[in-house]
Amino acid sequence: MESANLDQLDYYFSLEDLELLDAPPEDTFDNLTTLAQMALRTPVTLMSIVDIDGDRQFFKSQLGLPEPWASLRQTPLSHSFCKHVVRTCAPLVVENAGEHPLVCDNGAVLDLNVNAYLGVPIFAQDNPPVGALCAIDTKARPWTENDILTLKRFASCISDAIQLKAALKISDGLAAERNAALVAAERAAGAKARFLALMSHEIRTPLNGVLGTLGLLREMPMPDDQRALVRTASESGEFLLGLLNDILDFSKLEAGQLQMEEAPCDITQILDGAAALYKAQIESKGLRLTVDIRPDVPQCIKADAGRIRQIILNYLSNAIKFTTDGEVALRVETRPQDDSRVGLCFSVQDSGIGIPPDKATRLFNDFQQIDETIARRFGGTGLGLSIIKLLAKQMDGEVWFESVVGQGSKFYFAAPFEVAEETAKASSGAEPDRSVHLIRDKLRVLLVEDNRTNQMVAKATLQRLGCNVDVAGNGLEAVEAVVSRPYDVVLMDVNMPELDGLEATRRIRRRADIPASLPIIALTANAMAEDRTVCIDAGMNDFVTKPIDKNVIAQKINQVVGKISVATQ
């Protein structure tokens, strides 16, 4: 059986050539199948390649399949639900196989005990599907729109992996097609970005419940020993969130999708703010921290202050981590620049353990520490410096370091910048004031959220801000709620059963009996830049990423509500 034309290249590959039929399992497909099973919580999950000519379906990846089918890794098409997915090029949803006219007499119902089935097609670009990714239950069960969307996302990752295999085969076999490697790399980056976006959503949802609950606990009276436990759990959760954000940043930088914001920023404020953040840690270790801004450095430049601050904070964090005695010095000076811009060189020097010369080449590599003992002793993922390297490159800059074992290290970041006029509005890149209050008490808020834990956390957080809160469990309930009573603001989750937040927003905006000025804020675990664009295009006013922060929520509500609100007119 042959696949169709791949990515408009004049080469065809059979499923055997791509090692999809009669081939051993592969980690890529097994990992995606496992994640799909975890997400949908089904006893059986299959990646089925449908061979119409051979009257069979072959399981490239399978979990939970009973014997003898698990060992055979195939069944005849008389025992296949997936053939219907391939023939129709559409998902097949079966909640009770015995009552479904399309599959009630299928051999899989009796021999494999299939009762509930959800399958989505696996495509290769715009070609007909080569098979299906399916979730199976031995008991009848309903499938939600979110279940279908989740399975489609995993199937999309599988399709990308198949396309990558085809592109790599072209690259390996035909030297004349030199651009195949670039095509493969871009496709792999796209697949990784989609996979990371999916995993970000799946991790942020429970993490929102964990950090939100801990945040509420911190505001309650409790003994000191219990408060210490809550603080430790919160710090661990924040570390996990920081790691998740680092991975997303790294993915965006690799794909060239991270947007830099260029605005006037105050260099003194950036450096002093970064130093102040580590003041307590410096003092607790008995170290000294100095900040030196050379006289010829301009006061303000046009740059992304937050990203410059991110680089400096990473350098400072590493310097303090690896220094037990002495000082850490933060410095910025000018350096020659060919064009009208000013060249600035930021550096952080420590008197710490230093870096052996034979380990130096690994330092800015992805996910690498200089050796395993360093990772065990000091912690960390080795991802921070690789992000810094990519950030510097995007700013037309560079990073490097000097080090002597036992004497310390000095890390540099240099880039060209345009000089900006001094202004009171210049940014320092630091986070805004953390003590935020709503502009008015007793705002009426509609919280639209399907996850009960997140409902509890968000509702309690809003009540702490002085809001009156109603809760809707899906988009349909949200539309009914805003029709029946006025609200000052709606906080809308995106991925929900029955009706998602995007379509609910569109329906609200189309109704003449709902004020067009009603503010709607996305409250979602989707953290990619394109997710924000989709929400705004659907008619939402703003976007907040989970885990939710009380002060961020308050700021966003203040921005969209204004002085006049619907509910209090």
Would you say residue 321 has pLDDT above 90? no
CA distances from 271 to 7, 66, 346, 430 (A): 49, 62, 10, 10
3-state secondary structure 223-252: CHHHHHHHHHHHHHHHHHHHHHHHHHHHHH
pLDDT confidence of residue 379: 45
Dihedral angle, C-alpha 417, 421, 422, 424, nearest 10 °:
-110
Helix, strand, coil percentages in the chain from 3-state DSSP, rounded to 5: 45, 20, 35
Answer whether residue 293 shows pLDDT above 80. yes
Contacts of 258 (CB under 8 A, 6+ apart): 249, 252, 394
Q: Phi and psi of 45, rounded to 5°?
A: -135, 135
Element (H, E) at 48: strand 44-51
Cβ proximity of 46 and 59 under 8 Å: yes
pLDDT in tens, 343-381: 999 999 999 888 888 777 777 665 455 544 444 444 444
Neighbouring C-beta atoms of residue 141, cutoff 10 Å: 18
pLDDT reading at 85 higher than 50 = yes
* Closest C-alpha to 316, from 331, 296, 334: 331
Share of the chain above pLDDT 70, in %: 78
Q: Please say whether the beta carbons of 392 and 311 come within 8 A.
A: yes
Distance (Å, rounded) from C-alpha 556 to C-alpha 86? 46
pLDDT in tens, 95-110: 999 999 999 999 999 8
Distance CA 270, CA 306 (A): 9
Instruction: In whole angstroms, give the CA distance from residue 491 to residue 273.
Output: 33
Look at the pTM and tell me if it is higher than 0.75.
no
Q: Is the pLDDT of residue 433 over 90?
A: no
Q: Is the CB of residue 20 less than 8 Å from the CB of residue 49?
A: yes
